[in-house]
Amino acid sequence: MSVLQKAGLRISVSGIVQGVGFRPFIYNLAEVNRLTGWVMNTSNGVEIELAGSEEGLQRFLDSLRANPPPLSRIDRLVAEPCPPGDYPAFEIQASQPLPGEFLPVSPDVSICPDCARELFDPADRRYRYPFINCTNCGPRFTIIRDIPYDRPNTSMAGFPLCPRCAEEYHNPRDRRFHAQPVACPACGPGVALVAEGQRLAEGETALRLTREWLKQGKIIAVKGLGGYHLACDASNAETVAELHRRKRRSDKPFALMAFDLASVERHCIINPAERALLISRERPIVLLEVRPGTTLAVNEVAPGLSHLGVMLAYTPLHLLLLEPAEGFPEMLVMTSANLSEEPIAFQDDDAEERLAGIADAFLVHDRPIHTRVDDSVVTTVFGQPYFIRRARGYAPDPLVMPGRLPQGLAVGPELKNTFCLTRDSYAFLSHHIGDMENLETFTSFEEGIRHYERLFRIRPEWIACDLHPNYLSTRYAEGRSKAEALPLVAVQHHHAHLAACLADNAWDSDEAVIGLTFDGTGYGTDGAVWGSEVLVGGYTKFERRFHLAYVPLPGGDLAARKPARMALAHLWKAGLDWEPDLPPVRELCEEERTVLRAQLERGLNAPPTSSMGRLFDAASALLGIRQVSTYEGQAAIQMEALADPNEPGEYPFEIAQENILANRLWEELLADWRKGTPVPALAARFHNSVARLALDLCLRLRRDTGLQTVALSGGVWQNRLLLEKTANLLMQASFDVLIHHRVPANDGGVALGQALVAARSFNR
Ligand code: ZN
Ligand code: ZN
Ligand code: FE
């Protein structure tokens, strides 16, 4: 028997190590290896000090490295020997936030397998309890009012723990140790079904009645994690069409929810990357290809589209709602509960008032939602996640940036707004706020900024905004910069897109790249409506090298809703006749066309635009796909859905100095259309043409400047067909291609770009 040699070890771990059961895991690992000492959360992660045998310490370290807790992600682990402390036992010490320091706040986490098992275990005391959660899962960001993240600082403050829950909460060996939202049927929140102001039922009866009504084709507002959804049977075409009517936004696709992967697979085709996203702890809405023969009401759920937005049930309430049963729908529509354009409803009175004409009944609960958060929407490109909307499950996790950023605030653009706060090496990009077109959205923008500033202890030293003088976000930035005497940086929209893509890829230099920033609209330095900007630049400066030749945008922003008018504007610009058999010509009556022509000729309420989004709209209208868009980008999205991916043909653009001309493209496209070439082939050729154009522009710039790296940013790059074709062409020509993968390519990423442009300009 050898004499026990006592040694000491100090370990710091950073990464995703808080709110994921890390400290109880460490506690148990220390006990197993007969080590004493302590573990503590700090601002940077977790600190551990251990004393015990050399062997025990080594085993501890090996297990930590090999098998960390399932939800954790260790980015950095530093272990250093130290003199062994004289500790009586191993203990979990209270976290001590240092003044001015912040503790990370976890995003909401979908229900874990352990809790899901207990939920359906008749022997468990939380059997069928809709708010079951643990250290590894449950609400986080949506219920936090302030830090430190303790129960009194959450919307669970009104639910004192019963003795059994308290015992679990305080026991480091329990999987509910320090789970702030822990609850049970005896002490926690409950559900109720409300219709016409009447509380019809509670608990299990409320759930049963809700399911009965859903089966019958009723529309039910369901209070969830970050807000209300509108739920109905996704295979009932009549009900889904009725929901479109009641929401007054006609064609915008609805998201679907399923109980499990098997149900999704019966209706959609899933590749491995999509599967991984669906079952991830974030559980976003994933865009999936429709499986032929599905019984879902596809035409009503997603009119004119080839993909459905699907998510798996992510809370215990959703699992109970969707539990498979004979005759019960396999998938439910679960769409944000709002009228078109308004933010998702999340407060009870407000929801019942605003949704009164839409929902037949309300399945409510009494756990307050502190911050409304929408579902995230993600697709995959080259086997990697590609964000359309970054919200639940991801925010408010900060993005780690290369280098230190001074504390600042970027307020983002007008549409798909997010804002971004910076400090240390973090960019806190907010959850999706929405289109800043009404008071409700503006209010949640203002409240959101204050909430993030308080949570993460940030006092902005500068403010960044869009160059557009009339954006509500810009006005907010101007007001605050005056009131607090802070410098204001106005960042050109497409420069912000470029910087967002660099930041997304952790680009760490002021070196220039080629930026293909293609989107619908952004205010240019010359006052025109930009949108096909080929830039050479980096974080701190940019030059505009090429863009689509200006075309009048008849009716300004309204033109985005009327692709037919945009098509005629493009034909007019290209000197082509408005032949009476063309679909957009047939769409408009003679009087409308006369007014439009006058508008184009005189430039009346028709600002010049180089928008790539509008070029896609025009093509969609010319091909007879879409003459009116009922939501942003509809014409282009439906054209993408129709395009034949195997069609190789293409049409030429011409380049004259900085101008890109589409004249020949329109001529040849129309000639082929007259020959009767099928629309799917023509739609594909249009995509191919833009991809080829992108390559040509980059080749020219490489010859001029020697630059090798190309960043693809802006909402047009949500078009997967275009993105994959373009990126493939560029890679074949040996370019390094940067695409987004942590933030959306659309305007949801602009605030991050603004933040980096401003921070870098102050950091020099
Ligand atoms: Zn759990
Ligand atoms: Zn309890
Ligand atoms: Fe944009």
Q: Which two tokens stand for residue 285?
A: 């809405």
Q: Same domain for 489 and 538?
A: no
Examine the pLDDT at 102 and tell me if it is beyond 80. no
Q: Same domain for 309 and 408?
A: no
Examine the pLDDT at 142 and tell me if it is beyond 70. yes
Q: Same domain for 527 and 597?
A: yes
Asked whether residue 78 is domain-assigned, the answer is yes
The pLDDT assigned to 42 comes to 79
Q: Whole-angstrom Cα distance, residue 567 to residue 624? A: 11
Could you tell me the distance, in angstroms and rounded to a whole number, from the CA of residue 199 to the centre of ligand 2? 24
Could you tell me the distance, in angstroms and rounded to a whole number, from the CA of residue 292 to the centre of ligand 1? 36
Examine the pLDDT at 705 and tell me if it is beyond 60. yes
CATH code of the domain in which 240 resides: 3.90.870.30
Q: Could you tell me which residue, 251 or 619, shows the higher pLDDT?
A: 619
β-strand partners of 109: 138
Q: Same domain for 403 and 473?
A: yes
Could you tell me the distance, in angstroms and rounded to a whole number, from the CA of residue 123 to the centre of ligand 2? 16
Q: How many CA atoms lie within 13 A of 439 on its CB side?
A: 0
Mean pLDDT of the chain: 94
Could you tell me the distance, in angstroms and rounded to a whole number, from the CA of residue 478 to the centre of ligand 1? 44
Q: In this predicted model, what pLDDT tens digit does every residue of 626-665 receive, in sequence order? A: 999 999 899 999 999 999 999 999 999 999 999 999 999 9
Could you tell me the distance, in angstroms and rounded to a whole number, from the CA of residue 519 to the centre of ligand 3? 5
Give the 3-state secondary structure of 685-754.
HHHHHHHHHHHHHHHHHHHHHCCCEEEEECHHHHCHHHHHHHHHHHHHCCCEEECCCCCCCCHHHHHHHH
Could you tell me the distance, in angstroms and rounded to a whole number, from the CA of residue 382 to the centre of ligand 1? 32
The pLDDT assigned to 655 comes to 97
Ligand nearest to the CA of 495: 3
**Taking residues 545-562, what's their average pLDDT?**
93
Q: Same domain for 546 and 610?
A: yes
Examine the pLDDT at 533 and tell me if it is beyond 50. yes
- Give yes or no for a contact between 40 and 95, defined as CB atoms under 8 angstroms apart: yes
Q: Same domain for 354 and 443?
A: no
Ligand nearest to the CA of 190: 2
| 10: exposed, middle or buried (Cβ count in 10 Å: 0-12, 13-18, 19+) | middle
Nearest to 524 by CA among 499, 491, 498: 491
**Taking residues 199-228, what's their average pLDDT?**
97
Could you tell me the distance, in angstroms and rounded to a whole number, from the CA of residue 108 to the centre of ligand 2? 21
- Give yes or no for a contact between 19 and 144, defined as CB atoms under 8 angstroms apart: no
Count the domains in the chain: 4
Ligand nearest to the CA of 749: 3
Examine the pLDDT at 337 and tell me if it is beyond 90. no
Asked whether residue 144 is domain-assigned, the answer is no
Residue 2: band (very low, low, confident or very high) from pLDDT cuts 50, 70, 90: very low
Could you tell me the distance, in angstroms and rounded to a whole number, from the CA of residue 201 to the centre of ligand 1? 27
Could you tell me the distance, in angstroms and rounded to a whole number, from the CA of residue 571 to the centre of ligand 3? 25
Q: Same domain for 555 and 691?
A: yes
- Give yes or no for a contact between 605 and 553, defined as CB atoms under 8 angstroms apart: no
Residue 608: band (very low, low, confident or very high) from pLDDT cuts 50, 70, 90: very high
Mean pLDDT lowest for which of 42-46, 136-140, 636-640? 42-46
Could you tell me the distance, in angstroms and rounded to a whole number, from the CA of residue 206 to the centre of ligand 2? 21
Asked whether residue 22 is domain-assigned, the answer is yes
Ligand nearest to the CA of 491: 3
- Give yes or no for a contact between 156 and 356, defined as CB atoms under 8 angstroms apart: no
Ligand nearest to the CA of 70: 1
Q: Same domain for 456 and 313?
A: no
Nearest to 750 by CA among 500, 489, 452: 500
Ligand nearest to the CA of 169: 2
Ligand nearest to the CA of 164: 2
Could you tell me the distance, in angstroms and rounded to a whole number, from the CA of residue 140 to the centre of ligand 1? 12
Examine the pLDDT at 472 and tell me if it is beyond 50. yes
For β-strands 285-290 and 377-381, DSSP reports them as: parallel
Asked whether residue 381 is domain-assigned, the answer is no
Q: Same domain for 488 and 407?
A: yes
Ligand nearest to the CA of 746: 3
Q: Whole-angstrom Cα distance, residue 271 to residue 184? A: 38
CATH code of the domain in which 587 resides: 3.30.420.40
Asked whether residue 598 is domain-assigned, the answer is yes
Q: Same domain for 205 and 342?
A: yes
Share of the chain above pLDDT 90, in %: 85
Q: Which of 43, 65, 92 is the last residue of a domain?
A: 92
Examine the pLDDT at 1 and tell me if it is beyond 60. no
Q: Which two tokens stand for residue 548?
A: 């689509």
The pLDDT assigned to 348 comes to 74
Asked whether residue 384 is domain-assigned, the answer is no
Residue 377: band (very low, low, confident or very high) from pLDDT cuts 50, 70, 90: very high
Could you tell me the distance, in angstroms and rounded to a whole number, from the CA of residue 137 to the centre of ligand 1? 4
Q: Whole-angstrom Cα distance, residue 708 to residue 740? A: 18
Instruction: Give per-residue burial for 246-260: e unless 16+ CB within 10 Å, then b.
Output: bbeeebebbbbbbbb
The pLDDT assigned to 361 comes to 96
Mean pLDDT lowest for which of 189-193, 474-478, 557-561? 557-561
Could you tell me the distance, in angstroms and rounded to a whole number, from the CA of residue 423 to the centre of ligand 3? 25
CATH code of the domain in which 74 resides: 3.30.70.100
Which domain does 708 fall in, by range? 516-738
Q: Whole-angstrom Cα distance, residue 253 to residue 517? A: 26
**Taking residues 561-589, what's their average pLDDT?**
97
The pLDDT assigned to 294 comes to 97
The pLDDT assigned to 259 comes to 98
The reported pTM is 0.94
Neighbour count for residue 763 (Cβ, 10 Å): 13
**Taking residues 519-533, what's their average pLDDT?**
97
Asked whether residue 8 is domain-assigned, the answer is yes
Q: Same domain for 720 and 752?
A: no
The pLDDT assigned to 469 comes to 94
Q: In this predicted model, what pLDDT tens digit does every residue of 496-525 receive, in sequence order? A: 999 999 999 999 998 999 999 999 999 999
Examine the pLDDT at 3 and tell me if it is beyond 50. no
Asked whether residue 354 is domain-assigned, the answer is yes
CATH code of the domain in which 468 resides: 3.30.420.360
The pLDDT assigned to 343 comes to 66
Nearest to 444 by CA among 458, 432, 457: 432
What's the gap between Cα 458 and its chain centre?
Answer: 23
What's the gap between Cα 35 and its chain centre?
Answer: 43
Residue 150: band (very low, low, confident or very high) from pLDDT cuts 50, 70, 90: confident
Q: Same domain for 422 and 527?
A: no
Could you tell me the distance, in angstroms and rounded to a whole number, from the CA of residue 465 to the centre of ligand 3? 13
Could you tell me the distance, in angstroms and rounded to a whole number, from the CA of residue 187 to the centre of ligand 2? 4
What Rg, from alpha-carbon coordinates, does the chain have?
28
Ligand nearest to the CA of 319: 1
**Taking residues 674-690, what's their average pLDDT?**
98
The pLDDT assigned to 18 comes to 74
Residue 387: band (very low, low, confident or very high) from pLDDT cuts 50, 70, 90: very high
Instruction: Give per-residue burial for 121-149: e unless 16+ CB within 10 Å, then b.
Output: eeeeebebbbbbbbbbbbbbbbbbbebeb
Cα–Cα distances (Å) from 605 to 598, 616, 655, in that order, read 11, 21, 27
